[in-house]
Amino acid sequence: MKNLDKNEYFFGHKACAGCGGALAVRIALKTLGERAVAVLPAGCMSAVGFNFPQLAFANNAIISTFAGTASMLTGIVSGLRARGETGFTAVGFAGDGGTADIGIQALSGAIDRNDDILYICYDNEAYMNTGVQKSSLTPFGARTTTTPAGDRIRGNIREKKRMFEIVAAHGISYAATASVGYLRDYVEKIRKAAAVRGAKYIHVLAPCPTGWGTGADETVELAAEAVDCGLFPLREFSDGKFRVTIRRTPNAGAIRAHLARQGRFRHLTEEDIEHVISLTAARSNHL
């Protein structure tokens, strides 16, 4: 991609081939540059990035408590400012579990204080590092080890939590959804966020071949397809207003095809698929 730093800041890590989370972290750090200070809670990105003595980050990076990503970002900003440092970005990379379940209180507090932090949630839609358990961002129907597919209950019976709307409801300075299938849009949103003083949140869809039951070479295509079929709208919230950055009308055939290529949805019945399609249409009416 043009105008992106040629240097690498996240490399030599131990992520599975085709990991969407690793791509999300790599591109974000190339966008923010060497003055980014990264905070990562428990999750795949810290597990694959900090294997002493092989630190996979070229910039400063630290592991936080699971629940405390946002609090540690706040502390880093205060500490560096007290030392007279300027021109850095404190950026968090937390998974869906570490964000929408375990870290939501600290995140909410940091947004409420409008601390000058950038929080990036890489959403692979389950607790992947511990073997694929359901989080509140796991979509309806997905099979995980805690939402197995059987005759009576077929995968996750809950809907994906509306994390972007929850963050926006705080009146945050800047928030966006993004996808590793639309990297230019993702980079633009990171640049925009980095230029805003105050709390910023980016929610990036990052497929996990291991947990989704997909091929390592399908990640980027799947992430783009999720946007294109209407399942994962790309949006922004700034100055108190919502905006759609890449508009796609939900398409039943495309949703069907998107679900069919993922192992985690293979058990779904016609009725389940119809339900996913109607949920997607209902959500798109809120845009």
Ligand X SMILES: Cc1ncc(C[n+]2csc(CCOP(=O)(O)OP(=O)(O)O)c2C)c(N)n1
> Which residues make up the interface to Mg ion (CB under 5 A)?
95-96, 124, 128
Residue 209 interacts with which of ligand SF4, Mg ion, ligand X, none, CB < 5 to 8 Å by class: ligand SF4
Compare residues 77 and 106 and give the one whose CB is closer to Mg ion: 106
Comparing CB distances to ligand X, the nearer of 50 and 242 is 50
Residues 71-110, one symbol each (x = binds ligand X by CB under 6 A, - = not), give: ------------------------xxxx------------
Interface positions, 28-67, toward ligand X (CB under 6 A): 42-45, 66
| 282 Cβ contact list (under 8 Å, min separation 6) | none
**Is 135 near ligand X (CB under 6 A)?**
yes
209-228 binders of ligand SF4 (CB under 6 A): 209-211
Planar angle of CA 116, 121, 127, nearest 5 degrees = 140
Residues paired with 154 in a beta bridge: 149
Residue 19 binding result from ligand SF4, Mg ion, ligand X, none, given CB thresholds of 5 to 8 Å by partner type: ligand SF4
**Distance between CA atoms of residues 200 and 197, nearest Å:** 8
Task: Using the rule CB under 6 A, give the single segment among 150-158, 162-170, 206-214, 251-259 that binds ligand SF4.
Answer: 206-214
